Structures are given as structure tokens and as C-alpha cells.
Structure 1
Amino acid sequence: MTNQGDKDDEIKLFLDAVKDVRPLRSARVYHQAPTPKPIPRQFLRDERQALADSLSDGYIPAHELESGEELLYLREGHSPDILSKLRRGHWVVQAAIDLHGMVSDEARVYVAEFLSHCRKRGIRCVRIIHGKGLSSRNREPVLKHKLRNWLMQKDEVIAYAQARQQDGGSGAVIVLLKA
């Protein structure tokens, strides 16, 4: 058995040992995983709508080159050599999309998102397959004509030309984008 004197000595010894100690601000320490950042869903919806709205079906180009049925376009201020190089396949196609089976509104959003994605990734030359319109009403290429207007509205498009036969011919277009 310990007597009261020993207990007093132990308490005095303990108090002497902890006299310079400062209490912690919080006695509890929590280890929490960092909270993930919220997903800005409305912002993403707004961005997607802005992309879609940036292309209009009612756009009437001030100038466009047509040689028979072949579609050609060159933004003002660029050398005509760009068109001949584009038509000959000078640039390697780095990305492609296919609009077959899409309605006009779907295709417009898809094209806008695709061009935005390509610009962010530094892609310069792309192929967009619009089809020949064989399955559409009146067997006319609806998307082909809308696509050329959409492309002319996009600032990042320098030029476009109908694809070579092995790349899709009159059912596709090769587009050169700004660097």
C-alpha cells in the first residue's frame, strides 16, 4: 500500500514535469480526406449551349468559293496556296467525326464541341464526314450545306475543302484550323 505522502510526492513531481506545457487548442485531431471540388453542372450546361448557339443555320456567307459541286472556303487574309495544299492532302488528318444519322441540332452541337476540343489540343487538320444525303428526304445532303455555314462562322477555321476520294469525297470535308 502506498501512503498519502507518496501520492503527494507523485502529484508534485507530475505538476513539476508539466509546468511549462501549453494546452492544445483542440483536444481532438481529425484526419479528413480533402473535400472534392463541386462539379459546376450549370456552368457546363451554359458552356455547351453557348457553343451550340455560336453556330447559326441562318448564316449567309459574304464570300465562298464553289467550283461546281465541290465546296471550298478560305478565310480572308490567307494565301490561296492553302486551299490547293488542303485539296492535295498536304496536312495529315489528326482527328475526325462522323455526323451520319444526326439531326441538324445534334450535329451543330457536336461540330462546335469537336472544334473546341481540337483547338484546346492543338489539332490543326480534321475531317468531318457529313454524308451524301442518300438517306435523307429528297435525297439531298442537308448537313453538307449547313456544315459549310457553321464552319465559316467559326473563327478557328482557316479553310476547308471537299475531301479527296479516298478520304470520303463529296461526303466529307477536310478543315484546316488555326494553330
Structure 2
Amino acid sequence: MQTSPPDPDDLALFRDFVAGTRPLEQDKIAPVVKRSKQKRPAATSNSSTAEKLFFFSDEFEVFAETQGTLSYVQNGDDPHLAGRLRRGELEPQVVLDLHGMTAQQAKTELAGLLNYCEQQQLNCACVVHGKGLGILARKVPNWLIQHPNVRAFHTAPRSWGKHGALLLLLKINQSTEQQFRELTRR
């Protein structure tokens, strides 16, 4: 877009208006950064990250096509678990959103989620991988199958993201699992 040259009368008016002004001197003192008294979270070492990612191999691929509904139940577990996840009978206690992450970042976050669920004794989680190009939609289920604490997963119901998310059911310790069974019987 071209602009026309300024009007000579406007330039003269501007020069008259700013005549006698001088540039401002910088008299401000740069702010001092205050040190926080809170401790920063300890940086995770490469060995602990590698330990978390131990279960996830990018070469292992069971689900090559992820356009439809995905369903998995660990061998020897109740085959009806995936159906319960599909119907929304089990509500996730935590949600992990992987939108905008690279595959490596998503793998690390997924390992962190599974570790968090184990520490907090959470048995149901939702992983939102999105649809996009389908990279995470293909990788996430294949990573989850490899983890020993994943009992089952299923494509999430519409309220939790449908084909852009998975609901997971995780292994928890025996006493918490008994409490879970009592809650689901009601």
C-alpha cells in the first residue's frame, strides 16, 4: 500500500509545534529482580526421564489405523472394562492435554501422567491427543499398550473428546481397588 507524501502545510505545523523541545533523558533505574524465597522444583535428571520412558518404544506398533474407535484390554483382565470406558461409566480423575506437543514431549508427559497416577492412586485418566495430522493419535495407543500399569483404554465418549482422546484405566493397589469396586457397584 502506497502512501502519499505529507502535505507541506502539515509539516510546517508539526515543526512549529515541536520547536524548542529536547529529548528526554533516561532517569529511571532498572528494576532489581527479587529472588523468590520459594524453592524451584528440582530439575529431572536424564536418568529419571529415561527410566520413565523405559516402557515406550516407537518401533512397537499394534494400532496402525486410528481413524475408528480404539479399544484395548490387557491380557487376563476383565474384557468388559473397555465397554465401561466407552459408556462413560468411569470418569477420569485427571486429564492430560497433548495438543501442540512434539512426539518426544508427548511421550515424556505421558510417562509423567502414569507416574503421577501411580503416586496419587488414581485409576482413571483421560489423554487428549487431538486429531491433527494423526501422529500422536497413532503413537499414544501404541505407547500405552506397552506400559504394565495400563489395564484398558478406549476412545473417549463425546463429552471427553471422542476420537481426539482416550480414557485409560490403570492398575492401583489392592485396598484402593477394592474401594473402587464398591463405588462402581452402587
Q: Equivalent residue for 2:32? A: none
Amino acid at match of 2:147: K
**Deviation by residue 1:105-157 (Cα, 9 ceiling, x = unmatched):** 01001100110111111000000000011xxxxxx311011000100010000
Measure the CA separation in 2 of the matches of 1:141 and 1:174. 17
Does residue 98 of the first structure (1) align with residue 100 of the second (2)?
no
Q: Compute the TM-score of the two structures, normalised by the length of structure 1.
A: 0.67
RMSD: 2.2
Structure 2 spans left out of the alignment, 5+ residues: 1-40, 173-186
Q: Equivalent residue for 2:169? A: 176
Amino acid at match of 2:135: V
Measure the CA separation in 1 of the matches of 2:97 and 2:123. 18
Number of aligned residues: 131
Measure the CA separation in 2 of the matches of 1:121 and 1:69. 32
Q: Compute the TM-score of the two structures, normalised by the length of structure 2.
A: 0.65
> Is the contact between residue 66 and residue 137 of structure 2 (CA under 8 Å) also seen in structure 1?
no
Shift of 1:41: 6.3
Q: What SS is found at the alignment partner of 1:70?
A: coil
Shift of 1:60: 2.9
Q: What SS is found at the alignment partner of 2:167?
A: strand
Structure 1: 4+ residue segments shifted above 3 A: 39-42
Shift of 1:52: 2.3
Shift of 1:68: 6.8
Shift of 1:79: 1.7
Structure 1 spans left out of the alignment, 5+ residues: 1-38, 134-139
Amino acid at match of 1:128: V
Does residue 76 of the first structure (1) align with residue 75 of the second (2)?
yes
**Between Structure 1 and Structure 2, whose CA radius of gyration is higher?**
1
Measure the CA separation in 2 of the matches of 1:41 and 1:150. 24
Report which stretch shifted further, 85-94 or 156-165: 85-94
Change (3 A) 1:128 1:41: closer
Q: Equivalent residue for 2:157? A: 164
Shift of 1:178: 0.5
Amino acid at match of 1:76: N
Give me the identity figure in percent.
31
Change (3 A) 1:168 1:58: same
Q: Equivalent residue for 1:107? A: 106
**Deviation by residue 1:20-41 (Cα, 9 ceiling, x = unmatched):** xxxxxxxxxxxxxxxxxxx986
